[in-house]
Structure 1
Amino acid sequence: MLDDAFVAEQTCQCLRNVEAILKSEDRSLEDVLKTTVFLDDIDDFDAAYSGFFETAPPARSAVGAGDVSKGPAVEIEAIATVE
């Protein structure tokens, strides 16, 4: 298990990246319907994915992926509406 602050920092960066992509398409995090959180260690789930969404968080699933992409502790995939 990694340091909670390290995992939280990576989680915030992932969600900032998602937010930037959405913004480039005139969307926001409020348009996210579902996320999948890939964790190097599933025991880090509580540290990852803390209060980033202002309203009710979207549906989510978490996967203990072990050695995610040979580097980061967290990766997040998001599905958003494009109405």
Structure 2
Amino acid sequence: MRTVVATKKAPAAIGPYAQANIIDNFVFTSGQIPLDPDSGQIVEGGIEAQTRQVFANLKAVLEEAGSSLENMVKTTCFLADMNDFATVNEIYATYFPGGVFPSRSAVQVARLPKDALIEIEAIAVIK
């Protein structure tokens, strides 16, 4: 059985998709871009601010699903510029203080929705 996840603490979908779906004890998030949930606008402040906003959005979606950032088992990071990879890595690591990281892929893409600099999707478990 599938359960669709929706929370107002993360940006509403900007297309025909769900913020996340739960199947069994897994949460599959849609890619989160750095939209402020209140304004619907991309946050200012470059890759640093955008990466932090993406994690805030992921956290909100995962918590609504009964999971958390710590329970992420796989992420895919989409970057508009691979030159931001080191900066993203520094910020990314701070969200896993125990050093237990999810599996991850990171790719540079030609363009992201709303010209975001980063998008991250995740798979997490519900414990």
Larger Rg: 2
Say whether the fold is shared (TM-score over 0.5): yes
1:21 to 44, 61, 83: 61
Structure 1 window deviating more from structure 2 (44-53 vs 10-19): it is 44-53
Give the equivalent residue in structure 2 for 1:33.
Answer: 73
For 2:81 and 2:110, locate their aligned partners in 1 and report how far apart those are by CA, in whole Å: 6
| Alignment match of 1:64 (pick from 78, 86, 108) | 108
Give the structure 1 partner of residue 82 of structure 2: 42
TM-score normalized by structure 1? 0.83
Q: Superposition RMSD on alpha carbons, in Å? A: 1.5
Give TM-score scaled by structure 2 length: 0.57
Query: Is the partner of 1:15 in helix, strand or coil?
Result: helix
Partners of 2:70 and 2:54 lie apart in 1 by 16
Larger relative contact order (Cα-Cα within 8 Å, sequence gap ≥ 6): 1
Q: Higher helix fraction: Structure 1 or Structure 2?
A: 1
How many Å apart are 1:40 and its aligned residue? 0.3
Whether the 8 Å contact between 2:62 and 2:69 is mirrored in structure 1 is yes
2:52 — aligned with what?
12
Aligned AA for 2:49? E
User: What stretches of structure 1 move > 6 A for 4+ residues in a row?
Assistant: none
Identity %: 38
